[in-house]
A and B are shown apart, each in its own frame.
Chain A
């Protein structure tokens, strides 16, 4: 069965420090991969998505993610976090382009230390 694992429930980093949020997926083929952010009081927003091609994907708000097929991972990174990045981050997977379902991980809550 398809699944998405986000092993870190809660991460705290200092403002200005680098960030890496982990995501592993379980799926036979190369799925479509996503990262979403859910800020307090706001709806989910798509940060970036990977379909094919270059394995390093650039997203909004200075985020990037790297697809590593050998590790079945799609980790999210940011070189320098800002206090406004405090939020819940969800990794998600869809099996094919016309899929009606997207499977979400359980999320990683990011806190920023001043």
Chain B
């Protein structure tokens, strides 16, 4: 497949556990974005990676959230000590270059996280 892929597609966890979400961007895309979509709401920006530049982490809601990306490949979003309010769909997107306005973002199908 040539699109953005995410795994797992669904994740159920217990409050207090750590979870790791994975995103495989489109090959050759230098920019990668993570968003959170709570039920009935729009997408909230979480973090942005562009090539080897320092990531823009300004959207991460707390220090329990972190993300990594190695080069221009896979990214992982980690949520430590999950809380029930972390329940949401986590969406990943990639684009050929950075800049959400000039470059089309291609979205993955998302990971649906449920924290019990």
Contacts and interface: CB of A to CB of B under 8 A. Distances in A.
Answer yes or no: are A and B bound together in one complex: yes
Given A43-B4, A43-B109, A101 B48 contact: yes
B98 A98 contact: yes
Q: Interface size for chain A: under 10, 10 to 19, 20 to 34, or 35 or more residues?
A: 20 to 34
Nearest to B31: A100
A84 interface: no
A33 to B, nearest CB: 9
A75 B5 CA distance: 31
Interface centre among A49, A94, A101 (most CB of B within 10 A): A101
Contacts of B4: 43
| A interface, over-half SS | loop
B99 A97 contact: yes
Contacts, number: 70
Given A42-B109, A43-B91, A43-B107, A104 B98 contact: no
Interface stretch (B38-46, B61-69, B79-87): B38-46
Nearest to A31: B101
B101 A51 contact: yes
Contacts of A4: 42
Contacts of A11: none
A74 interface: no
Contacts of B116: none
Interface of A: 4, 32, 41-46, 49, 51, 90, 92, 94, 96-107
